[in-house]
């Protein structure tokens, strides 16, 4: 009997201290029933060795005695690896070479043996195996591919997931490649020849023979969501088509595909985004909405942009998760003081609220989340955006279309006739837009908008620069808020460390010199792909327009003077708010410095 299916595994785990004697007895008594239960649930998709003792133990939801650490497949396989003197590997598909994985063995062989070639290094093929008894499969591979192999142990779930991902995608792509190469054998080198394909697809549903490309695109979306990618790049090179994902700010090359499928892939995306498929020389942009099913089903909005580059059309997709754009305001990272002040802005009957910061500072998320929070059936919320970032059915969203002269100003000129209660203006860029915003506020509307300024107070100056009289600013402005996003420390590898306060003081943090400070940083682990960071959080500077501040604005006083008063009245600056997040162990001083250095 195979080791992973036998009671020897349970005995080993007890000997290694992973299981207690009681847990071992419990497992032995439950094994038969649990095995039937799992087998019934799995249906026919699993291989004949499923479920084994690892699956059974992992499904019982036990925890390590005296801790809350769940006894999952990874914990079990780490113990097995130790006992069998094999290295254990948690598989990250981004580190694997799809070409090696799918080029060395057939999908069926991979599934039957739960085995996955990882990479070829100096003639040595590293192979992930699940069953430590898989030696015979390894020697089969050595015989047929004439390379030496070295095994690493991995969990069944990791191996099966990647087999599915890699081989499924590979199959769609190969089929598509065959199809498009068959149209014209020179197609791989000359994208112009794909005109014929384009004509078939233009204007109506692609014919069913394009099934492979559809599947490949579906795979791509699923995979990108699974990997928490924020952007997908599809890049034509001379001989290949590169697919890259941006994850946590960094680009990773995911696939290098045959060039023959590039144009078809881009055409499919353009079709989904309702772009002109035949137009390949002009940049285009559009959007695709996809829904995922399952219990964590969510809507994802994809903004597609295509641009012709040297070797064809490059497509870039930004993935906007509705769960990210519409958040609970309380989870954005406000301190309790700032949250209270900002809630006050939201409750104001009329006036202007400005959110400022550079591109990518999270302004859209804040504004969308705010509108969602205050949206009720008795309110008419109208947004004017360039472009509409995320569609929400509770709002009436109007897109700026400069090409046909539908600008912020022309929309705003007519918007009051639409009887709005709350207006969100994507950005105040010019005098006319600023004047419309003020006018709307003066006639009893609550207006939210954004500006490109560094700090909260500077938005007053910016409005003056746009030609608004000081008294108009002072009578309509309720508050301004500057914001930034900092990367948050990965909770899985966060570690405390101490640092000389002098070093921090030199960088401008409010610390007492001559002491040491205990801070947190991420050591780097699999979960965060060794970056030490996972997720992001807002840093804020919230300026309420108090009576004193109002007088100063209408008197035309300089922003520095206003800022000093605001600070005396309790405003925390961006730097201070960032520093308090460093002290709480949410982020690092490097991040705080990065986003608050102007």
Q: Which is nearer to Zn ion, 57 or 75 (CB)?
A: 75
Stretch that binds Zn ion, among 185-193, 287-295, 525-533, 573-581 (CB under 5 A): 525-533
Closest distance to Zn ion from the beta carbon of 520 (Å): 12
Nearest CA to 575 out of 458, 482, 495 is that of: 482
Q: Determine if 520 is a binding residue for Zn ion (CB under 5 A).
A: no
Q: Determine if 582 is a binding residue for Zn ion (CB under 5 A).
A: no
Q: Which is nearer to Zn ion, 415 or 528 (CB)?
A: 528
Q: Determine if 492 is a binding residue for Zn ion (CB under 5 A).
A: yes
Closest distance to Zn ion from the beta carbon of 91 (Å): 16
Which residues, 6+ apart, have CB-to-CB distance to 537 below 8 Å? 332, 333, 485, 486, 488, 581, 586, 587
- The runs of H, that is alpha helices, within 227-253 are none
Closest distance to Zn ion from the beta carbon of 522 (Å): 5
How many chain residues interact with Zn ion (CB under 5 A)? 7
Among 527, 567, 583, 585, binds Zn ion (CB under 5 A): 527
Closest distance to Zn ion from the beta carbon of 492 (Å): 4
Q: Which is nearer to Zn ion, 462 or 487 (CB)?
A: 487
Q: Residue 439 in contact with residue 463, Cβ under 8 Å?
A: no
Closest distance to Zn ion from the beta carbon of 490 (Å): 3
Q: Which is nearer to Zn ion, 93 or 524 (CB)?
A: 524
CA distance 413 to 402: 15
CA distance 148 to 152: 14
Q: Which is nearer to Zn ion, 72 or 527 (CB)?
A: 527
Scan residues 539-578 and list those touching Zn ion (CB under 5 A).
none
Among 264, 528, 549, 552, binds Zn ion (CB under 5 A): 528
CA atoms within 13 A on the CB side of 374: 24
Instruction: Output the residue with the shortest Cβ distance to Zn ion.
Output: 490
CA angle 81, 115, 526 (to 5 degrees): 60
What are 450's strand-pairing partners? 355
Q: Which is nearer to Zn ion, 74 or 492 (CB)?
A: 492
Q: Which is nearer to Zn ion, 231 or 527 (CB)?
A: 527
Nearest CA to 364 out of 379, 349, 346, 383 is that of: 383
CA distance 228 to 141: 34
In DSSP notation, 105-149 reads S-HHHHHHHTEEEEEEETTEEEEEESSTTTHHHHHHHHHHH--EE
Stretch that binds Zn ion, among 40-48, 461-469, 499-507, 526-534 (CB under 5 A): 526-534
Q: Which is nearer to Zn ion, 93 or 358 (CB)?
A: 93
Q: Which is nearer to Zn ion, 13 or 494 (CB)?
A: 494
Q: Determine if 493 is a binding residue for Zn ion (CB under 5 A).
A: yes
Q: Determine if 490 is a binding residue for Zn ion (CB under 5 A).
A: yes
What would the two tokens of residue 288 be? 């695709």
Distances (CA, A) of 97 to 127, 230, 236: 12, 21, 19
Q: Which is nearer to Zn ion, 105 or 490 (CB)?
A: 490
Q: Which is nearer to Zn ion, 62 or 493 (CB)?
A: 493
Closest distance to Zn ion from the beta carbon of 248 (Å): 11
What would the two tokens of residue 301 be? 């909005």
Q: Residue 324 in contact with residue 485, Cβ under 8 Å?
A: no
- The runs of H, that is alpha helices, within 388-500 are 408-415, 431-442, 458-465, 470-476
Strand segments (E) across 158-197: none
What would the two tokens of residue 70 be? 């769940």
Closest distance to Zn ion from the beta carbon of 95 (Å): 15
From the number of C-beta atoms within 10 Å of its C-beta (0-12, 13-18, 19+), residue 64 rates as middle
Closest distance to Zn ion from the beta carbon of 521 (Å): 10
Stretch that binds Zn ion, among 171-179, 381-389, 470-478, 528-536 (CB under 5 A): 528-536
Stretch that binds Zn ion, among 33-41, 269-277, 321-329, 516-524 (CB under 5 A): 516-524
Closest distance to Zn ion from the beta carbon of 532 (Å): 6
Residue 491 is classified by DSSP as: T
Residue 487 is classified by DSSP as: E
Stretch that binds Zn ion, among 222-230, 267-275, 380-388, 515-523 (CB under 5 A): 515-523
Closest distance to Zn ion from the beta carbon of 390 (Å): 29
Q: Determine if 265 is a binding residue for Zn ion (CB under 5 A).
A: no
Task: Return residues touching Zn ion (CB under 5 A).
Answer: 490, 492-493, 522, 525, 527-528
């Amino acid at each position: 009997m195979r080791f992973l299916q036998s009671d020897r595994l349970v005995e080993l785990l007890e000997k290694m201290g992973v299981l207690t004697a009681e847990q071992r007895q419990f497992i032995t008594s439950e094994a038969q029933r649990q095995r039937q239960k799992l087998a019934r649930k799995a249906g026919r998709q699993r291989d004949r060795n499923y479920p084994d003792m690892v699956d059974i133990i992992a499904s019982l939801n036990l925890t390590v005695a005296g801790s809350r650490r769940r006894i999952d497949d990874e914990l079990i396989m780490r113990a097995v690896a130790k006992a069998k003197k094999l290295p254990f590997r948690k598989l990250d598909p981004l580190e694997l070479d799809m070409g090696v994985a799918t080029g060395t063995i057939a999908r069926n062989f991979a599934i039957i043996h739960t085995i996955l070639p990882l990479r070829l290094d100096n003639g040595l093929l590293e192979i992930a195996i699940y069953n430590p008894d898989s030696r015979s499969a390894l020697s089969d591979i050595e015989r047929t591919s004439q390379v030496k192999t070295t095994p690493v142990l991995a969990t069944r779930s990791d191996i099966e997931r990647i087999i599915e991902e890699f081989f499924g995608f590979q199959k769609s792509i190969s089929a598509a490649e065959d199809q498009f190469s068959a149209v014209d054998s020179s197609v791989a080198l000359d994208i112009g020849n794909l005109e014929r394909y384009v004509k078939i697809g233009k204007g109506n549903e692609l014919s069913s023979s394009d099934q492979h490309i559809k599947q490949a695109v579906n795979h791509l979306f699923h995979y990108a969501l699974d990997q928490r990618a924020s952007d997908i790049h599809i890049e034509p090179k001379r001989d290949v088509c590169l697919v890259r994902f941006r994850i946590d700010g960094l680009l990773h090359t995911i696939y290098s595909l045959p060039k023959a499928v590039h144009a078809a892939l881009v055409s499919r995306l353009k079709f989904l985004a309702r772009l002109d498929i035949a137009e390949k020389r002009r940049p285009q942009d559009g959007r695709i909405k996809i829904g995922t099913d399952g219990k964590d089903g969510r809507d994802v909005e994809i903004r597609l942009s295509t641009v012709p580059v040297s070797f064809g059309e490059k497509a870039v997709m930004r993935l906007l998760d509705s769960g990210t754009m519409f958040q609970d305001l309380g989870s954005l990272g406000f301190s309790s003081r700032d949250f209270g002040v900002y809630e006050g802005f939201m409750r104001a009957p009329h006036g202007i609220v400005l959110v400022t910061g550079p591109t990518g500072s999270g302004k859209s998320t804040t504004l969308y989340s705010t509108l969602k929070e205050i949206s009720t059936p008795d309110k008419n919320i109208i947004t004017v955006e360039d472009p509409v970032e995320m569609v929400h059915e509770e709002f009436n969203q109007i897109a700026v279309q400069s090409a046909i002269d539908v600008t912020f100003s022309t929309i705003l000129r007519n918007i009051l006739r639409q009887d709005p209660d709350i207006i969100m203006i994507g950005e105040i860029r010019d005098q006319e837009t600023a004047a419309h915003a003020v006018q709307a506020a003066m006639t009893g509307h609550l207006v939210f908008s954004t500006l490109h300024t560094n700090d909260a107070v500077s938005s007053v100056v910016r409005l003056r620069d746009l030609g608004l009289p000081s008294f108009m600013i002072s009578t309509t402005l309720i508050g301004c808020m500057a914001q930034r996003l900092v990367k948050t420390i990965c909770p899985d590898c966060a570690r405390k460390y101490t640092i000389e306060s002098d070093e921090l003081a030199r960088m401008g943090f409010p610390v007492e010199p001559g002491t040491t400070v205990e801070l947190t940083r991420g050591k780097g682990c699999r979960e965060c792909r060794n970056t030490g960071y996972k997720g992001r959080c807002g840093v804020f500077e919230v300026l309420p327009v108090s009576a004193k501040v109002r007088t100063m604005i209408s008197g035309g006083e300089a922003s520095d003077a206003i800022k000093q008063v605001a600070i005396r009245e309790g405003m925390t600056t961006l730097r201070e708010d960032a520093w308090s997040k460093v002290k709480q162990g949410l982020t690092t001083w490097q991040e705080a410095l990065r986003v608050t250095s102007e």
